[in-house]
Amino acid sequence: MAFHRVLRVLLICAVSYSSASVVDDGQNYRTARQSGPASIFTVGNGEQCLGNDRSTSGVCLSRNQCNTQGGKAIGFCGVFATCCSLNACDVRTNTKVAVFINPPLNRESSGLECSYNIEVNNNNVCQMRIDFETFNLAPPTTVDPVENVTQRPGFSCRNDIFQVTNLQANSDFLPALCGDNNGQHLYVRVNASTNSRAIRINFKIADRSSQPNLPQATWKIKVTQLECFNTLGKYRDGILEALTMSLPATPFSSSADRDEYLIAPPGCLQYYPDRAGAFESFNYNRGLGPYIANLVYATCFRRTPDVCGVKLTSASFSLAYRGEDNLYVDTDCQVNPVTRGASQSEDYLFIPEAETADGLRGSKFCGGSASQQIIASTPPGPLYVFFHSDNLENDGIPESGYRFNYNVLNNCFPRNY
């Protein structure tokens, strides 16, 4: 009887949690699979917390996670977790969720390198998602202008640099990042069966004593290891699903079940599984940019059986362009190699099978062609956009970047967006 009473309580808690498992934070909709187990069972979810003195901040982790990441316990959070102060460099960990925070930096202590080694938690881990909860480094720069020269190299990370290395068989390339990337994320592939069992995250911070005008470098990044193995999902439904999604790994569930929602399709540097949200270029910096040179990556969206496309509503869009007399679409955004002559801009955002609300069709968008536009993308395959930036900056032509709100579509015909 006692077991049945406990099970009844757990079911009530699970159903209550499930009914409130979608959280609207103003931009994105987070589901239970993203938010993790209910707080009463939390053993460390990487959320911000306060120490016993109620003034020192930390992150909520299990005591083992705190110790392996070189942290210091400063209080408690939830029932089974500790509030952990993290600011160590040269950390090695294999925890399911790892959080790294910059050490105290000032003019005397800057000019350092900070590295974190994340080893796979188990052989089912196939991806690592890196979330930039806080990410403020020196912005990308270009060379000083030269008289009568209007073209310069593109904006690159020359002072502070963030880089992910030790990638799978050197087949993946992740760009060096810098600037303001709060709220951004990226995915890294791993494969324990091919000895791709760890990644290395490096921060290289410029010396502020010799460059006092650079902004202070700060970061808080969360690395979540995602498992691709899943055998229980097809057996779950109704109350059992609510229960297994609300609890930590038990005989009823596995962490892979909860990871399934976040697994990104192959080839995606960024992935947005929610049905609505927002995305922006790296170092968008609230519309001030500039975006980083030599970027080539895909941003993807989740396509379920009921989804036929994605609607993009432009909040801001300003890329480089080649000339004033064009529509900034398709061939206006990329030079044909056969007719290539003097260096010309080839920055663009590729949106497959795109059509704007006023009838403009195209795939490559540059200049201001997507500014203040509502764009529907209805390709037959995966849902994604693809950003390409060259290594060229023209004086007087802004390279601020872009920001879009998006939502997936389940009724694409007739086109009425």
Q: What is the pLDDT of residues 187-232, one digit of tens each?
A: 999 887 777 788 999 999 999 888 889 999 999 999 999 998 654 4
3-state helix, strand, coil in the chain (%, to 5): 15, 35, 50
Domain count, the chain: 2
Helix (H) or strand (E) run with residue 8 in it: helix 2-19
Domain final residue pick, 163, 193, 228: 228
> Does residue 35 lie within any of the structural domains?
no
CATH number for the domain harbouring residue 321: 2.60.120
Q: Which amino acid is at 72?
A: K
Q: Is the pLDDT of residue 346 over 50?
A: yes
- For residue 145, the model assigns a pLDDT of 77
Greatest mean pLDDT among 43-52, 67-76, 329-338, 356-365 lies in: 356-365
What are the C-alpha distances in Å from 277 to residues 91, 191, 369, 374? 33, 30, 22, 15
Are 312 and 381 part of one and the same domain?
Answer: yes
User: How far apart (Å, rounded) are the C-alpha atoms in residues 210 and 200?
Assistant: 28
Spell out the residues 6+ positions from residue 259 whose beta carbon is closer than 8 angstroms to its own: 33, 226, 227, 228, 230
Are 306 and 384 part of one and the same domain?
Answer: yes
Are 215 and 296 part of one and the same domain?
Answer: no
Are 307 and 400 part of one and the same domain?
Answer: yes
Are 91 and 223 part of one and the same domain?
Answer: yes
Number of continuous H segments (helices) and E segments (strands) in the chain: 5, 25
Name the residue range of residue 388's domain: 285-409
> What tokens does 369 get?
């062609």
> Does residue 192 lie within any of the structural domains?
yes
- For residue 392, the model assigns a pLDDT of 92
> Does residue 9 lie within any of the structural domains?
no
> Does residue 5 lie within any of the structural domains?
no
> Does residue 242 lie within any of the structural domains?
no
> Does residue 40 lie within any of the structural domains?
no
Q: Who wins on pLDDT, 344 or 172?
A: 344
> Does residue 336 lie within any of the structural domains?
yes
Are 112 and 208 part of one and the same domain?
Answer: yes
pLDDT mean across residues, the chain: 80
> Does residue 143 lie within any of the structural domains?
yes
Are 96 and 214 part of one and the same domain?
Answer: yes
Percent of the chain with pLDDT over 70: 76
Q: Is the pLDDT of residue 284 over 70?
A: yes
Domain final residue pick, 208, 228, 248: 228
| pLDDT tens-digit map of 289-305 | 999 999 999 999 999 99
Tell which phi-psi region holds residue 46, choosing left (phi > 0), alpha (psi between -120 and 50) or beta: left
Are 216 and 312 part of one and the same domain?
Answer: no
Q: Who wins on pLDDT, 326 or 351?
A: 351
Are 301 and 210 part of one and the same domain?
Answer: no
**pLDDT band (50, 70, 90) for residue 344:** confident
Q: Who wins on pLDDT, 69 or 410?
A: 410
Q: Is the pLDDT of residue 236 over 50?
A: no
**pLDDT band (50, 70, 90) for residue 19:** very low
| pLDDT tens-digit map of 377-387 | 999 999 999 99
Are 312 and 396 part of one and the same domain?
Answer: yes
CATH number for the domain harbouring residue 146: 2.60.120.290
Are 125 and 197 part of one and the same domain?
Answer: yes
- Name which of 330, 315, 291, 310 is nearest 405 in CA terms: 315
Are 220 and 290 part of one and the same domain?
Answer: no
